[in-house]
Structure 1
Amino acid sequence: MTAVRSVLVIGAGAAGTATAILLAEAGVAVDLVDVKPDVSALGSGITLQGNALRVFRQLGVWDEIEAKGYAFNSLGIRAPDPNGTLVAEIPDARTGGADLPATVGMYRPELARILVDRATAAGAKVRFDTAPAALVQDDDGVDVTFSDGSSGRYDLVVGADGIRSWTRHALGIELETRSTGMGIWRTFVPRPASVTRTDLVYGGPCYIAGYCPTGEDTMYAYLVEEAQDRSGLSPEDSLAVMRELSQAYHGPWDEIRESLTDPSTVNYTWFEEHVLPAPWNRGRVVVIGDAAHTCPPTLAQGAAQALEDAAVLSELLLSHETLDEELWSEFEARRVPRATEVVEASVQLGQWLLDGVQGDMPALMGRMAQLLTPPA
């Protein structure tokens, strides 16, 4: 017997779809809803570290992700000079195990489609363009009303609905989401043959200039600057700003810049962070993924930590017979310290750049590899 027989999952990102897959496959009745109109509306490029790949294998989607993404096992550091000189090639930690790549870059909508299709195949009932409107819980369950007028009663509600979580707000949880002081320009472009892994450039007009291959013919590139209000820029203005900032970077950036012609591929966001202190649940409602913890992408661990939340929560729901404090205490013990340390390390990497100090990056990266290599 499992701790739950019916679950509502709010949010069809990595945390939500992974939870839906693992529970539905075990025979739990799962409804998965997302406010977005369809799966294709879920982003651009994403970098996935080995500990994320380990969960994908558990979900039964690793083979497809391996086929659709772009795997690599090292990180390049280039100089902000006229040649984009490669100054270091660093083997990347295989945090998912020796039989998995260190890193996979992927087109985010493709990843979202794979996960949603897998959730549907596992038996979850998936509804897009649907949001919760109200929830009321008692000792035995949670009654939820949806934006389309329908309703349902569940043993558990999982809020995997992102940084601005509706679920968190509905529970009355106050959590400050803080800008770390950096903003990032991103674009999705064709992959030059010279781009075969992530390379980073520190210095120049931006804190970081980097890129990640996402497939045989695709990649995304990014420029990290001081956070500023870019909301008034038109798409054409945004493209012009990114092209101008990129002028300082060379090597593969010279080819990337030639492809920077479509304003619709450019977007700008701030780096943000928060961590919800334990407990992450209020009765029979729990928040996971970005709703509970979010970090800047300096360690590329956002999706990985969300997936680990889903794997641990599902394991406990399926192995315990009751939804009680023992279950929640075990969940918190396995997830809160680990996710908190990842957020703090991600913020620290950016803070060193903001402060213009030479932090001990090798030591930090080694500590993170040691933390993340054992399963959550």
Structure 2
Amino acid sequence: MNTPGRILVIGGGFSGMSAAILLSEQGHSVDLVEIDADWRSYGAGISLNGGIFRVFDRLGILDGYRECGAMIDGIEIRGPADQVLARIPTPSLMEGAPGSGGIMRPVLARLLADRVRKTAVNIRLGQTFDTLADGADGVDVTFRDGSSGRYDLVIGADGLFSATRAAVFPDAPAPRYIGQAVWRAVVTRPAHLPSVAMWMGPGLKLGITPVSDDKSYIFLTENRPENTYVPPESQLESLKTLLGNFTAPTAQAIAAELSADSQIVYRPLEQLLLPRPWYKGRVVMIGDAVHATTPHMAAGAMIGMEDAVVLAEEVTAHETVPAALDAFQSRRWERARMVVENSGRLAEIEQGHGTPDEHRQIMGQTLGALAQPI
């Protein structure tokens, strides 16, 4: 498909926006549909593997990120008195960028949305597909508003509970709860922490990541055998109680600072790795729709956005859509599988089903693999 075609992107998250930007700039006519009429991005902060800066540079948002995000190096494991027990390096993967970073999710979403608006992408908010009819020469799509269109390629980038996946692969496995949940909140950036810091507790892991010059976000991973509901009105006190398990002065200061304005987010952790194929005919899925990972390697957003980069490259490199999609899947499968499965194994170890040495080994091996070219 190395001649301009009509492409539909379903989902306006990080992966979908990245695909729309790159394919539009290659000369394709791109429609982007996003079911949320306000195009909102929920959540607190997001920790970033340094490899994502290569993607930001490709998308043209790296300078914008420098202005509103945090660029940092290394991870510190700290003890009950805030003492540094170990340092994990995060080597730079591109000139002029550090080995890791952090940013508020809505801020990164805004950077990408602004970038999409500067392209020729036709953005349709409050809209999604109703039916997909894949044929030899194109995909006939009907939309919720009664309109329709014919596309050379349809990209499902609609997340963990993908409607595209359900339509194309109705027998696909459901997301799997992994026995942990994560709490997130926004706090004042501690001046004494130069990088990402983590503390280990009983069935708990606390971390803090800078997301701007003056703000950080905390993440607290909790072993929770059952995926039980936590009412929003109880989340503030629940998080403060969990932080009480840590004697470190930083943890106690965070607990004292938390309030109803701290943007607390609670989320059970689920994962999904769709067995190949990731496409059928002219419909392909990317990002969390096919490889939703837990946050243990801070690489979920990165591998989804990498999908967009690789897909755009293969669409340009091949004359036919099937050839492009086969090449895309071949390049992405092993990298995505590694992140999903290794992150899941780290979660198991943190729940007592493994050793600290294995945990460190998996983290090191995965970081090394992610440092390789996309």
Please list, as runs of the form range in 1=range in 2, the aligned pairs for 1:183-262 lying within 5 A after superposition.
Answer: 183-204=181-202, 206-227=203-224, 228-233=226-231, 235-249=232-246, 250-262=248-260
1:319 equivalenced with 2:317 (yes/no): yes
1:141 equivalenced with 2:138 (yes/no): yes
1:200 Cα offset (Å):
1.0
Q: Which residue pairs with 1:336 in the alignment?
A: 333
1:261 Cα offset (Å):
0.7
Instruction: Tell me, yes or no, if the aligned pair for 1:75 and 1:197 is still in contact at 8 Å.
Output: yes
For residues 163-211 of structure 1, the C-alpha deviation after alignment (integer angstroms, 9 at most, x for no partner) is: 000000011341231111111111122323234321111123x421111
Instruction: Tell me, yes or no, if the aligned pair for 1:178 and 1:273 is still in contact at 8 Å.
Output: yes
Distance in 2 between the 1:195 and 1:149 partners? 54
Q: Which residue pairs with 2:161 in the alignment?
A: 164
1:353 Cα offset (Å):
1.2
Distance in 1 between the 2:274 and 2:329 partners? 11
Instruction: Tell me, yes or no, if the aligned pair for 1:131 and 1:147 is still in contact at 8 Å.
Output: yes
Instruction: Tell me, yes or no, if the aligned pair for 2:5 and 2:152 is still in contact at 8 Å.
Output: yes
Instruction: Tell me, yes or no, if the aligned pair for 1:280 and 1:292 is still in contact at 8 Å.
Output: yes
Instruction: Tell me, yes or no, if the aligned pair for 1:4 and 1:317 is still in contact at 8 Å.
Output: no
For residues 27-62 of structure 1, the C-alpha deviation after alignment (integer angstroms, 9 at most, x for no partner) is: 111111111232333432111112111011001111
Please list, as runs of the form range in 1=range in 2, the aligned pairs for 1:12-27 lying within 5 A after superposition.
Answer: 12-27=12-27
Q: Which residue pairs with 1:111 in the alignment?
A: 108
Which runs of 5 or more residues in structure 1 are unaligned? none
Instruction: Tell me, yes or no, if the aligned pair for 2:227 and 2:268 is still in contact at 8 Å.
Output: no
1:264 Cα offset (Å):
6.7
Q: Secondary structure at the match of 2:332?
A: helix
Distance in 2 between the 1:252 and 1:136 partners? 55
TM-score, length-normalised on structure 1?
0.93
Going from structure 1 to structure 2, the CA distance change for 1:375 and 1:71 (only over 3 Å counts) comes to same
Q: Secondary structure at the match of 1:355?
A: coil
Q: Which of 338, 345, 350 does residue 353 from structure 1 map onto?
A: 350
Q: Which residue pairs with 2:270 in the alignment?
A: 272
Instruction: Tell me, yes or no, if the aligned pair for 2:50 and 2:90 is still in contact at 8 Å.
Output: no
Distance in 2 between the 1:343 and 1:107 partners? 23
Aligned length: 370
Which runs of 5 or more residues in structure 2 are unaligned? none
Q: Secondary structure at the match of 1:122?
A: coil
Please list, as runs of the form range in 1=range in 2, the aligned pairs for 1:37-52 lying within 5 A after superposition.
Answer: 37-52=37-52
Q: Secondary structure at the match of 1:340?
A: helix
Q: Which residue pairs with 1:62 in the alignment?
A: 62
* Counterpart residue type for residue 39 of structure 1: W
Distance in 1 between the 2:97 and 2:197 partners? 20
Deviating more after overlay: 292-301 vs 252-261 = 252-261
* Counterpart residue type for residue 274 of structure 2: L
TM-score, length-normalised on structure 2?
0.94
Q: Which residue pairs with 1:53 in the alignment?
A: 53
For residues 3-39 of structure 1, the C-alpha deviation after alignment (integer angstroms, 9 at most, x for no partner) is: 5511110111111011001011111111111112323
Distance in 2 between the 1:188 and 1:203 partners? 20
Q: Which residue pairs with 1:73 in the alignment?
A: 73
Please list, as runs of the form range in 1=range in 2, the aligned pairs for 1:362-373 lying within 5 A after superposition.
Answer: 362-373=360-371
For residues 107-143 of structure 1, the C-alpha deviation after alignment (integer angstroms, 9 at most, x for no partner) is: 1101001111111212111222212111112111112
Q: Which residue pairs with 1:300 in the alignment?
A: 298
Distance in 2 between the 1:14 and 1:163 partners? 13
Deviating more after overlay: 113-122 vs 289-298 = 113-122
Distance in 1 between the 2:353 and 2:30 partners? 48
Distance in 2 between the 1:258 and 1:37 partners? 37
Distance in 2 between the 1:7 and 1:111 partners? 24
1:240 Cα offset (Å):
0.3
* Counterpart residue type for residue 151 of structure 2: Y
Instruction: Tell me, yes or no, if the aligned pair for 1:195 and 1:252 is still in contact at 8 Å.
Output: no
